[in-house]
A and B are shown apart, each in its own frame.
Chain A
Amino acid sequence: MTNLSVNIAGLTFKNPVTTASGTFGYGDEFGDFMDLGRIGGVFVKAVTGSNREGNAYPRMAETASGMLNSVGLQNKGVDHFIKEIYPRIKDFDTHIIVNVSGSTLEEYVEVASRINELDKIPAIELNISCPNVKQGGMAFGTVPAMSTEVTRAVRDVYKKVLMVKLSPNVTSIIEIAKAVVDGGADVLTLVNTLLGMAIDAERRRPILSTITGGLSGPAIKPIALRMVWQVHNAVNVPVIGLGGIMNATDAIEFLLAGSSAIQVGTANFIDPAISVKIVEGIEAYMQKHGITDVNELIGGLRTE
């Protein structure tokens, strides 16, 4: 028997494969393609204090082995989430984790305390790293003192597992990671998208309406892996790694670098059943290498 389950800050995931916020809707959109019960968890689309329409079209540009987006946290707000969406997803046979976003400290605190009341949501992921909102957003994730402050404020009102999602758009990811742990984070998720840009030379115009946007997909994987490795070695809270994971081998690399679980993002657009295939692929790898417990892989990189 192989054990695939992992324990992250007291929460047991049936396997280390989860899906990334903003790439998996609220989960039910995938019902035609896969059984949600097969994966460890679903991180749902960002929830903010009130309705947001997001940025203007065009919001997407395909790039070499990746894509840029500038969706900008489009969602109908926390009230709508609690009334309309939560009832329809709360009984899925997997952990549903809410990505909490905002532009001000008060907004983060407000959303977190509302989500705290939902029985079937065992954790939140605080998104202090979105490059696509004008104020707040990424600033909370790039200035260490602000990262500590927002994490601490949310920690005061949120009683369950608090995950904080870090921005890779910083000089020292270790410094930010430590700042967030100081603020009381139980788990760190990394990485969010890298700030990037695409230009249409024929028209001499930017492709995105916002000019810059967030890069995701295999193009960012080496950077994400490096950051996971650095943070895993620098803090003593669990790390959930993501960034360009397209298959089981990519996922295993993140586990080896120190991720206790991984998130599948952009890959869901290309193969909506990929997360289940990654679970199967990890199992096959373990059998091939005679590994009985997936926890042996976590941080199992050999560096000597």
Chain B
Amino acid sequence: MEIKKTVQDLTVVSNISLNKRHFLLELVAPEPLPMMLPGQFVQVLVKDSPTTFLRRPFSIHQADHRRNSIILLVQIKGEGTRHLSHLREGEKLNVIYPLGNSFSLPTTKKVLLVGGGCGVAPLLFLSQFLNQNSIRPTILVGFRTKEEVSEIETYAKYGEIFITTDDGTEGEHGLVVDHSIFQKDHLPFDKIYCCGPDAMMHAVARIAKMQEIDCEVSLENTMACGFGVCLCCITPTDRGNERVCVEGPVFNTKRLKWK
């Protein structure tokens, strides 16, 4: 399905710091929000930041059609994201959206969502979407440490939630792939959706393959345009090099030709 893309000035309605490295940015649209699907992303223009020349891509964390707003979950990485963390209520942000494809609707109810770092961002929108389709997923998210564990109550509304921390200060100790959920010979899932650091997605994809579970991942390749014209963001697939910003960011791991 083709969804029309637009360039709009959205207004910041809130900018909430979750911890030292993460914040939630709520942006309200001047016109009714376009139709959006979980997995899709926005391209944000960072103004008045000389070193931030290109736009910055962020997944849609939540879309609230009643408030006519979208929420981004952002991790501070460099100059661009630091700049965004200082935005105040009422300031405008120029955004191109919605971009990319989306997670597919599963044909099973036994669904596992796995996220790590800022890779959890699209999973909240996805769990809401699954709920609307009468699916309550199991949600596993990994954080660095207790201080960074956030939005757990929100996720808990949509599914059963499990967490890991790298340092063991909350939930199970270790990386998400070390979680006891994965220690079974037969995982009770028919579909896994995963987003996070490359190493994590590779590890989850391996488990899914071994157990013959269908798996979709959302990739975060660096982008110049975000709407399919520069061919910078490609990933090798069974159909040759495909654009993460158009044919992705969501790919079934069966189709990816990972090294």
Residues of B within 8 A of A69 (CB): 224, 230, 232
Is B241 part of the contact surface with A, judged by Cβ < 8 Å? yes
**Chain A: minimal CB distance from B166 (Å):** 20
- B224, B228, B234: the one contacting A54 at CB < 8 Å is B234
The segment from B1-9, B13-21, B128-136 that touches chain A is B1-9
Is B96 part of the contact surface with A, judged by Cβ < 8 Å? yes
Chain A window 90-108, contacts with chain B (Cβ cutoff 8 Å), 1 for yes, 0 for no: 0000000000000000000
Q: Are the C-beta atoms of B227 and A272 separated by less than 8 Å?
A: yes
Residues of B within 8 A of A53 (CB): 240-241
Chain A window 55-71, contacts with chain B (Cβ cutoff 8 Å), 1 for yes, 0 for no: 00111101111110101
Bound-complex Cα distance A74 to B221 (A): 17
Chain A residue at minimum C-beta to C-beta distance from B3: A32
**Chain B: minimal CB distance from A224 (Å):** 17
Is A119 part of the contact surface with B, judged by Cβ < 8 Å? no
Chain B residue at minimum C-beta to C-beta distance from A207: B222
**Chain B: minimal CB distance from A52 (Å):** 10
Chain B window 38-68, contacts with chain A (Cβ cutoff 8 Å), 1 for yes, 0 for no: 0000000100001111110000000000000
Is A144 part of the contact surface with B, judged by Cβ < 8 Å? no
Is B235 part of the contact surface with A, judged by Cβ < 8 Å? yes
Given contacts A33-B5, A65-B53, A67-B53, contact A268 B221 (CB under 8 A): no
Chain B window 217-258, contacts with chain A (Cβ cutoff 8 Å), 1 for yes, 0 for no: 000011111111111111110001100000000000000000
Residues of A within 8 A of B45 (CB): 270-271
Q: Are the C-beta atoms of B232 and A59 separated by less than 8 Å?
A: yes
Residues of A within 8 A of B4 (CB): 32
Chain B residue at minimum C-beta to C-beta distance from A265: B230
Q: Are the C-beta atoms of A217 and B230 separated by less than 8 Å?
A: no
Is A23 part of the contact surface with B, judged by Cβ < 8 Å? yes
Chain B residue at minimum C-beta to C-beta distance from A217: B53
Q: Are the C-beta atoms of A54 and B53 separated by less than 8 Å?
A: no
Chain A residue at minimum C-beta to C-beta distance from B96: A272
Residues of B within 8 A of A24 (CB): 229
Residues of B within 8 A of A22 (CB): 230-231
Taking CB atoms and an 8 Å cut-off, the chain B residues in 78-113 that contact chain A are 96
Taking CB atoms and an 8 Å cut-off, the chain A residues in 2-38 that contact chain B are 22-25, 29-30, 32-33
Chain B window 190-221, contacts with chain A (Cβ cutoff 8 Å), 1 for yes, 0 for no: 00000000000000000000000000000001
- A54, A63, A66: the one contacting B241 at CB < 8 Å is A54
Residues of B within 8 A of A64 (CB): 50-51, 53
Chain A residue at minimum C-beta to C-beta distance from B4: A32
Closest 10 CB pairs of A and B: A60-B232, A25-B229, A269-B225, A32-B5, A71-B231, A269-B224, A59-B232, A74-B231, A53-B241, A29-B229
Residues of chain B whose beta carbon lies under 8 Å from any beta carbon of chain A: 4-7, 45, 50-55, 96, 221-236, 240-241
Residues of chain A whose beta carbon lies under 8 Å from any beta carbon of chain B: 22-25, 29-30, 32-33, 45, 51, 53-54, 57-60, 62-67, 69, 71, 74, 217, 266, 268-273
Sample of 17 A–B contacts (CB below 8 Å): A32-B5, A45-B231, A53-B241, A54-B231, A57-B221, A57-B235, A59-B232, A60-B223, A64-B53, A66-B53, A67-B53, A69-B232, A71-B232, A268-B229, A269-B55, A270-B54, A272-B7
